[in-house]
Chains A and B, each alone.
Chain A
Amino acid sequence: MIWFIILAGGLLTFGIRLIPILLLGRLEIPSRFSLALSFVPTAVLTAIIVPELLAPGGSLDLSPGNERLIAGLIAIVIAWRTKNVLLTLAAGMAALWGLQLF
């Protein structure tokens, strides 16, 4: 039974990842659809990031005690200004650890 779950789940997952690549590679993509797709990274990554910052424990925490929120805000500013991934990472982790220690 567990193997049914693994194989069926794996097949479906692979299908999810593969079918758009196969289908859309063959068909002509209308420009509006292409425009919509251009928003995928921004929309999806933001949808992943924001809960991590605003609700790291699973529920909303907008207090100054939420270190991830503050570290995240710092990281956003750094990322905006420097456009540098490593710098953003370093600043964000430093901020997080610094806030967690004090």
Chain B
Amino acid sequence: MISLPRTEFLAGIRSELPILPGVIPFGLIFGVLAASVGIPPPAAQAFSLIIFGGSAQFIAAQMVGAGTPALLIVLTIFVVNLRHALYSASLAPHFKPLSGVWKLVLAWLLTDEAYAMGYQRYTRPDGSPHKHLYFLGAGLALWATWQLSTAVGILLGAQVPASWGLDFALPLTFIAIVAPNLKGRPSLAAALVAGALAVLLLGLPYKLGLLIAALGGILIGLLFSKTES
């Protein structure tokens, strides 16, 4: 039974280990991309340190390279990361008892991968009071990996490594989380609609398709829940 803070922390780190090999190539590629569009190394690392969001960083770096006005880039970063508000909202009830410092730290680490594993911990019905340590472990594992791989990418410069399909580990892990949870019509409907919309809206920029697909899935899940009760 997981109950000690340290056990939870280590378990959180372990939960991300399968995903890390897939994250590393993206960090490397970002570092290389940032360097290639002329972003100075400290600034490139700062993107990973301060913004800490892969897709937003990629798009921002490309826009910098294209000479896009700064305000537009900032706005784009905002839109691309908007889905994190959904993560934050769904975690809010679980984070309620935590201190302000904990909320700040965990919010800082809130990315797709940290959310996927961290949220999962909260849905397991054991009454452990240390689940936030699990989240911290998961988040820090990702954060450290992201910083290191960005740094190496900046240093490597022109050589972009092959990912050998390791990035596939990310959707695989998400599949492992979602598939068992597809019990009952509301969840199935939510997943089907979200998936369909995500593909239909692929052409939309700034990950808007993802956001709309997620919102659509949530809506459908709600609708199906009401008709069942």
Chain A positions within 8 Å of B210 at CB level: 44, 47-48
The DSSP consensus for interface residues of chain B is: helix
**Cβ of B157 under 8 Å from chain A:** no
A13-B199 in contact (CB<8A): no
B70-A49 in contact (CB<8A): no
A13-B190 in contact (CB<8A): no
The range of chain B's interface size is 35 or more
Chain B 198-217 interface residues, beta-carbon cutoff 8 Å to A: 198-199, 202, 209-210, 213-217
The DSSP consensus for interface residues of chain A is: helix
User: 5 extra interchain contacts, Cβ-Cβ under 8 A, other than A37-B93, A43-B221?
Assistant: A10-B52, A13-B52, A24-B93, A43-B213, A46-B194
A-B contact pairs, 11 of them (CB 8 A): A6-B46, A6-B50, A18-B107, A46-B191, A47-B197, A51-B198, A55-B199, A55-B202, A76-B179, A80-B180, A83-B180
- Residues of A with Cβ closer than 8 Å to B? 1-10, 12-14, 16-25, 29, 32, 34-55, 58-60, 68, 71-72, 75-76, 79-80, 83-86, 88-89, 92-93, 96-97, 100
